[in-house]
Structure 1
Amino acid sequence: MEQTRTNQADADSNVATKYAYITRQSGVRGGNPIVVGTRIGVHDVIGLLQNGETVDTIVIQSFPGLTRAQVYECLAYYEDNRGEIDLLVARQMSSGETS
């Protein structure tokens, strides 16, 4: 159990150092990656992009509190972690959850 906590802490630290706008917080969105200062999951942003939204529509309509830089960093995180994010998007779609 302690090793699991250590591994999660290491993963959280790695996310914080590699991505300026992406973090994980225990108890927020299941500990999945989110945009710093929000409860918006990386998978929320990627799901919208996969469904045809553009960066501009995301920052203007879907999540007006986000910046283009934050959306592009979600894309960068996705490129480095496709399996994780694809699974989260699929779960969200199958549960009917909306962003």
Structure 2
Amino acid sequence: MSNTLTDIGTLIDSHPGIHGGCPLIAGTGVTVRRIAIWYKQGLRAEEIAARIGHLTIAQVYAALTYYHINREEIDADIAAQEAEADRIEALHKASRQS
């Protein structure tokens, strides 16, 4: 058994040049937003870890912990992303109808 302890604060990171500075699972390109979206769709942490095979269950739980602590911020980010996707889709439909 390993006696190495991990500081949970090292599991979530952000960099201005990666995904616009959104919180990420450290050492990956996986955003907390992506984990939160799947969680909100009803996936369990184990299912999320299985979908992204290079993540450990601890990394997924760290992302979910970050999400629950910062729910308003992450939910606002998700809503903004969805609104932008809707806007782009509407522009695309309008240009096809012209």
Residue type of the alignment partner of 2:36: I
TM-score norm. by structure 1 comes to: 0.71
Which residue number corresponds to residue 70 of structure 2? 81
For residue 30 of structure 2, give the secondary structure of its aligned residue in structure 1.
Answer: coil
Give the structure 2 partner of residue 23 of structure 1. 13
Deviation at 1:18, TM superposition (A): 6.3
Alignment root-mean-square deviation, CA: 1.7
Question: Does structure 1 retain, via aligned residues, the 8 Å contact 2:25–2:32?
Answer: yes
The AA in structure 2 aligned to 1:67 is T
5+ long unaligned stretches in structure 1: 1-16
The CA distance in 2 between the partners of 1:72 and 1:52, in whole Å, is 15
Letter in 1 for 2:42: G
Q: Which residue of 2 aligns with 1:90?
A: 79
- Runs of 4+ that moved beyond 2 A: 91-94
Give, in whole Å, the separation in 2 of the partners of 1:72 and 1:58: 10
CA displacement at 1:51 relative to structure 2? 0.5
* Unpaired segments ≥5 residues, structure 2: 1-6, 87-98
Identity %: 33
1:64 aligns with one of 38, 53, 60: 53
SS of aligned partner of 2:10? coil
Provide the aligned length of Structure 1 versus Structure 2: 79
